[in-house]
């Protein structure tokens, strides 16, 4: 039995299936991951110096000089076959929930309704008056300002609705994700190193409650020895092969 056939068997036989995704699922869409040398988002920059909530408060121009580049990276990017495979699994009633660490919004664009535990770059908010702006409007305002800091109508700097270093994850999102993981018969973790907590604990919530774990990721994870199966190839090819095996 091939790896994709084994994953398909687990999906069919394990009850509620929950998908957990990380940066690796979006790499085929042209979005770099975080840790790959030379090409990863954090390869040539210290995230604590550009993407920390204290940097946003103290030096919004420095913060937005980095996040403006992230906006540019995401411009025109589309969901790939891995995102679409998950939507197909949901359509067939085989996946009951999707949890993602990604902020790129590609799951939603593909047709899923994910729990975005690290927030989303699709909107930005004013922490002073509470007003919210779309990504398009935020980018327009960013381009209007000489220092590159998009401003609210009230004059305060905007903050993207993502979880920055130094911030807590949204309590509702992590609680919903934890409940899904604890009740899952199978967690299918895709494109995640499973090293960033508290999200990295979700597979353990599945395992300690009697569920199984399947991994689809190229790099090593702390759960490799605990997983029922691991697929280490291209995420699009692997998930499309799983769909073929499901028939």
47-80 tens-digit pLDDT: 667 789 999 999 999 999 888 877 777 778 899 9
Beta carbons within 10 angstroms of residue 148's beta carbon: 17
The reported pTM is: 0.90
**Are residues 71 and 82 both part of a single domain?**
no
Give the per-residue pLDDT at 39.
Answer: 42
Residue 118 annotated in active site: yes
Active-site option among 52, 83, 107, 118: 118
User: What is the tally of structural domains in the chain?
Assistant: 2
**Are residues 149 and 244 both part of a single domain?**
no
Domain extent, residue 224, equals: 1-31+78-118+168-247
Give the per-residue pLDDT at 44.
Answer: 58
**Residue 115 three-state SS:** strand
Question: Residue 37: is its pLDDT beyond 50?
Answer: no
Query: Mean pLDDT over residues 119-124, rounded?
Result: 92
> Among 105, 138, 162, where does a domain finish?
162
pLDDT in tens, 14-29: 989 999 999 999 999 9
CA angle 132, 42, 65 (to 5 degrees): 45
> Who contacts 140 (Cβ-Cβ below 8 Å, separation ≥6)?
none
pLDDT in tens, 200-234: 999 999 999 999 999 999 989 999 999 999 999 99
**Are residues 105 and 45 both part of a single domain?**
no
Contact 23, 73 (CB under 8 A): no
For residue 216, give the CATH number of its domain. Answer: 3.40.50.1220
pLDDT in tens, 157-203: 999 999 998 999 999 999 999 999 999 999 999 999 999 888 999 99
Looking only at the bridges linking them, the beta strands covering 212-216 and 229-231 are parallel
Contact 133, 123 (CB under 8 A): yes
């Amino acid at each position: 039995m091939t790896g994709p056939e084994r994953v398909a068997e687990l999906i069919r036989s394990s009850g509620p299936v929950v998908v957990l995704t990380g940066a690796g699922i979006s790499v085929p869409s042209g979005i770099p991951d975080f840790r790959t040398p030379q090409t990863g988002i954090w390869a040539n920059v210290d995230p604590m110096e550009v993407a920390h909530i204290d940097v946003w408060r103290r030096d919004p121009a420095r913060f937005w000089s980095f996040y403006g580049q992230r906006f540019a990276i995401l411009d025109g990017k589309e969901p790939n076959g891995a995102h679409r495979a998950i939507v197909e699994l949901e359509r067939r009633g085989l996946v009951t929930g999707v949890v993602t660490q990604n902020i790129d919004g590609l799951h939603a664009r593909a047709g899923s309704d994910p729990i975005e535990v690290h927030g989303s770059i699709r909107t930005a908010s004013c922490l002073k008056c509470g007003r919210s702006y779309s990504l398009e409007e935020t980018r327009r305002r960013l381009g209007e300002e000489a220092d590159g800091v998009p401003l609210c109508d009230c004059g305060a700097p905007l903050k993207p609705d993502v979880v920055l270093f130094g911030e807590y994850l949204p309590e509702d999102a992590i609680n919903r994700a934890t409940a899904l993981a604890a009740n899952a018969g199978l967690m299918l973790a895709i494109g995640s190193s499973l090293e960033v907590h508290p999200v990295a604990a979700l597979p353990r919530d599945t395992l300690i409650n009697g569920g199984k774990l399947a991994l689809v990721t190229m790099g090593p994870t702390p759960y490799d020895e605990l997983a029922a199966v691991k697929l280490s190839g291209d995420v699009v090819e692997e998930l499309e092969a799983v769909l073929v095996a499901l028939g």
